A and B are shown apart, each in its own frame.
Chain A
Amino acid sequence: MSAPVGAVGREHPRLEGQDKVTGAARYAVEYPVEDVTYGWAVPAAATRGRIVRVDAAPALALPGVLDVLHHGNAPRLTPGVDADLFLLQEPTVHYRGQFVAVVVAESIETAREAARLVRIDYDTEPHSTVLSEHHPGLYRPDKVNPSYPADTEDGDFDAGFAAAEVRIDATYRTPAYHNNPMEPHATTARWQDGRLLVHDSNQGSSPVQATLAELFALPREAVRVVAEHVGGGFGSKGYAKAAVVLAALAARQVDRPVRLALTRQQLFGPIGYRTPTIQRVRLGADADGRIAAVCHDAISQTSTLTEFTEQAAVYTRSMYAGRHRRTTHRVVRLDVPTPFWMRAPGECPGAYALESAMDELATACGLDPVELRIRNDPTVDPEQKQPFTSRNLVACLRDGARRFGWADRDPTPGVRRDGRWLVGTGVAGASYPARARAAAAAATAAPDGTFEVRINATDIGTGARTALWQVAADALGVPVDRVAIRVGDSDLPAAGVAGGSMGTASWSWAVIRACEGLRDRLRQAPGGAVPADGVTVEVSTADEVRAQRPLPRYAYGAHFCEVRVDADTGEVRVPRLLGVFAAGRVVNPTTARSQLIGGMTMGMSMALHEEGVLDERYGDWVNHDFAMYHISGCADVERIEAYWLPEEDPDLNPAGVKGLGEIGIVGAAAAITSAVHHATGVRVRDLPVRLDKLLEEQAEDGGSNRDGVPP
């Protein structure tokens, strides 16, 4: 790759990095606010039913308690905006853990203690909280997240599958996964002269501003949402969530500023999570592994409040060739919190299923799994029938295989042993849509030759601020040290969420257009001089983005890994995880790499460690903290490598980027489970691959492990 000429393509640490590590950067509940009070959310202790009585007296009796808000006394919200956010308005309980009251007190400790003292009586009804392929409530939704058709069909899958020489028919299960950003959902809210100001931890303060304005029946200008620094979200902060609404309600009620942060335990549910899935994948191929028929049936859950359908089978619509194709989604409304976005919603669980089935097909055909994928690389989008703007899956597979040393791999499962360890390797493909949303941005030239660029982008820790600053400098044609960038405030020109790997693509588009506009304006200025109050250009990319041709645009990747399984204990270790990606232009290699290895690690975590363990009697997840809900730690990541291929795609956006936030997690779990199979000969089709699942397979008396139910 040629060396970068401007700022784009150069390594640069995050602009706010030092502020963060020294504690100077302020997060949502860290802003000094005079006269601040503390809110504490009270979760429902019933799974389905109605509140029949709220007794706030014992809580109110505690010195320092200001108020207890509940459906009987809370300020009213506009109905019909969002059922999940219609909080403290009705006595109905839709799921266990739903916030049904908020205590406001002078200190956080008092608020927490008082929350315990709020007595709530419920009239409960029988509930249903377990996803199953036999659930009578399964139905076909009108659309799946965000707006794909639920089902697609092309050719004649049944006939194609029946006629195939080699058939794979496998069902994969994934558990509930919880986003668990480091910083919880947290808000400081205050009302001043009819205006609402919130410091909120979210992934897009323009959309949060819009939602709050609707909920509180205010003009948008009367709401300001600041999210300057955000400690992650993984999708769960992509939309206004309970914390900000509860804080705003409470602040209005007590007429003082309110700080409210959810606890770690409260993040398991009310803020969304990745739905469990049950996915059946069928692949029919000829003996050479050429796929003739592919079908992906995905089942997931949603709540009784809002329909959210994880688009798990959508991945299969564009990934591999095959004349006869079908994808379906079925969803069931359970008495559970509404699932929501979690890093690569749809693609992440979907790729786990399809890429695992590809590995099974490779084994069945006696074919190398890299070669199988290359053979089934389509030349045009198999459903959309349009050429891809760029598609470098094969290049990623080849480059990854070379770097990993894949060539000499013996495909036989369960035959490599190194002392106590069974050793195996695995591979999987990955793709993620490269999309963009409309955004506005402003650029100002000052007389001293410096520039300020403003856009309500959100930097959730990814390095977005730094990347936009680099893009802006190049677009202005000046060195970076003459440019300042401001993000994370709804008073800035509006932009969409940091989500869907669309942030850098969408925001840099607007930034580039604003900077280009400013340069034009400066060229026209008499004598080129900048007046004392500067020159500002503000633009929106709405028309341009709308006019973009609907072509298949995707980033691609390939994961390779080595896995070791302890023959005596079933413990799984991953000594090596290597990913190669083709994701357009890379603005900042430092932050790009951190996104990619972060995604890969999260994929490994999904494969081996994470699982929301549901107790169906209560309808909640029992392991709701970091001691019990295991996320891969540093010791689990032994050697991790991320590479990217040079890729110029003129049909994307002015910055030529595809987005890197999600592609790293897509497919990683399948590479690991395939390697586990290669190591042990055991196919675990329900995640996570925990040691008990392998141990029970290995133990001679494995069958007896299931029968010790207490009397």
Chain B
Amino acid sequence: MRAFRYHRPADVTEAVALLDADPEAAYLGGGTNLVDLMKLGVQRPGLLVDVTGLPLDTVEPGPDGGLRIGATVRNSDLAARPLVRRDYPLLARALLDAASGQVRNMATTGGNLLQRTRCAYFQDTAKACNKREPGTGCAALHGQNRELAILGWSERCVATHPSDLAVALVALDAVAEVREPDGPRDVRLTELHRTPGHHPERETTLPRGALITAVRVPPLPFARRSTYLKVRDRAAFAFAVGSVAAALDLDGDVVRDVRLAYGAVAHRPWRAYRAEELLRGRPITAELAAQAADAELAAARPLRHNGFKVPLIRNLTVRALTGLAGSVRP
């Protein structure tokens, strides 16, 4: 692997300046993704700017409810917060269903959101990959693509975003606080990750060198009735092959509001707006939930090996929504 320099900046300003000054620099969070990719030669930074010493490691309640999660808060610490468990059960679930205890102890909030795809071809430098090397082609498109996208992919890239946490945050309309060389900026989580289009090498809407400093979760009282359902190929320590984040607000039987997002189906966490729209104002039933999922999945274009994700996501949607409906009944 490439020899690299390592630096622990004193503050956010220094961190951002270092990345701005050096096109080969990268932020280092827990390193659970970046260091693996460095060993594989997929990423080859010349300078690592370790952000875990920055004072971004607190979880605070927002002034009017909600949460502010520092970018370097470890995944296990976040999942253990009573506030998170009580007010945002889907967040705690998404975190605890991810990776392993050891990985979660290292992984940071910022790093989790910006982890790279698990597409096998992306991780193998001997294979063609537009994301790793733009213009070389996409080995996955006609290759082994069981784990990859059914929604929003392009001929250039069919990868999925692997984070569970991001799916839950997208459902909650969370906002990333970002520091760029010319100042701070807010980026809505639903707009943080891109679909691949012509440029799969651009995974987010952030400019290079942008530092995520915190994630704000707005108040959402009905998120107390929320869940995250993740399906994977073994009982623990595996990425999702499909997941659903859901929060439901009922007025009697009628859906007053709903949040629905899908994981492991696209290059970004997939907010199911179309399904949400169909659900609002109607009495919740299994049939309605299935219809809503079908409406969202109408745009699905399964690849050779992942057609099963369509019924999987539909079934998970029904289970999530009927489960939540059951749990709010007196």
Contacts and interface: CB of A to CB of B under 8 A. Distances in A.
Contacts of B142: 617, 710
A224 interface: no
Interface string B104-128: 0000000000000010110111110
A215 interface: no
A593 interface: no
Interface in B288-330: 300-304, 306-308, 310-312, 315-316, 318-319
A contact face: mostly helix, strand, loop, or mixed = loop
Task: Rank and list the top 5 A-B pairs by shortest CB-CB distance, nearest first.
Answer: A705-B307, A708-B302, A635-B236, A692-B308, A635-B235
A381 B126 CA distance: 52
B234 A710 contact: no
B106 to A, nearest CB: 15
24 contacts: A45-B126, A112-B1, A116-B125, A568-B318, A569-B231, A569-B312, A609-B233, A618-B127, A627-B239, A630-B233, A630-B234, A633-B235, A633-B236, A636-B234, A690-B233, A691-B312, A696-B311, A699-B308, A701-B311, A702-B311, A704-B307, A705-B302, A705-B308, A708-B302
A628 interface: yes
B318 to A, nearest CB: 7
Contacts of B5: none
B21 interface: no
Contacts of A623: 120, 144
Nearest to A704: B307
A573 interface: yes
A26 B231 CA distance: 40
Nearest to A706: B307
Contacts of A159: none
A84 interface: no
B120 A628 contact: yes
A641 interface: no
Contacts, number: 118
B233 A109 contact: no
B134 to A, nearest CB: 19
A608 interface: yes
Interface string B220-243: 000000000001011111110110
Interface in A90-133: 109-110, 112-113, 116
A705 B311 contact: yes
Q: Among the interface residues A112, A627, A696, which one has the most CB atoms of the partner chain B within 10 A? A: A627
Interface residues of A, number: 47
A609 B125 CA distance: 26
A630 B308 CA distance: 19
Given A630-B234, A690-B233, A691-B308, A710 B120 contact: no
B303 A708 contact: yes
A627 B139 CA distance: 19
Interface string A669-711: 0000000000000000000001110011011011011111110
Contacts of B126: 45, 618
Contacts of B302: 705, 708
Contact of A708 (B1, B3, B307, B312): B307
A43 to B, nearest CB: 8
A380 interface: no
Interface of B: 1-3, 39, 41, 118, 120-121, 123-127, 139, 141-144, 146, 150, 155, 158, 231, 233-239, 241-242, 300-304, 306-308, 310-312, 315-316, 318-319
Nearest to A608: B234
Given A116-B41, A568-B315, A695-B311, A622 B124 contact: yes
A420 B127 CA distance: 41
Contacts of B236: 633-636
A624 to B, nearest CB: 8
A632 interface: yes
A571 B3 contact: no
A636 B146 CA distance: 22
B234 A635 contact: yes
Q: Among the interface residues B118, B125, B315, which one has the most CB atoms of the partner chain A within 10 A? A: B315
A620 to B, nearest CB: 9
A709 B303 CA distance: 5
Contact of B144 (A622, A630, A632, A705): A622
A250 B139 CA distance: 35
B234 A615 contact: no
A613 interface: yes
B44 to A, nearest CB: 9
B307 A609 contact: no
Contacts of A705: 302, 307-308, 310-311
Contacts of A614: 144
B118 to A, nearest CB: 7
Contacts of B41: 116
Contacts of A116: 41, 125
Contacts of A704: 307
Given A116-B41, A569-B315, A695 B308 contact: yes
Nearest to A43: B126
Contacts of B2: 113
Contact of A113 (B1, B143, B144): B1
Given A573-B235, A613-B146, 7 more contacts: A609-B233, A622-B120, A627-B239, A630-B234, A705-B311, A710-B142, A710-B158
Contacts of A622: 120-121, 124, 143-144
A632 B306 CA distance: 22
Nearest to B138: A710
Q: Among the interface residues B235, B236, B237, B310, which one has the most CB atoms of the partner chain A within 10 A? A: B235
A570 B316 CA distance: 11
Contact of A568 (B125, B158, B319): B319
Given A109-B3, A116-B41, A636-B234, A615 B308 contact: no
Nearest to B313: A569
Contacts of B300: 708
A695 B315 CA distance: 10
Contact of B307 (A113, A617, A696): A696
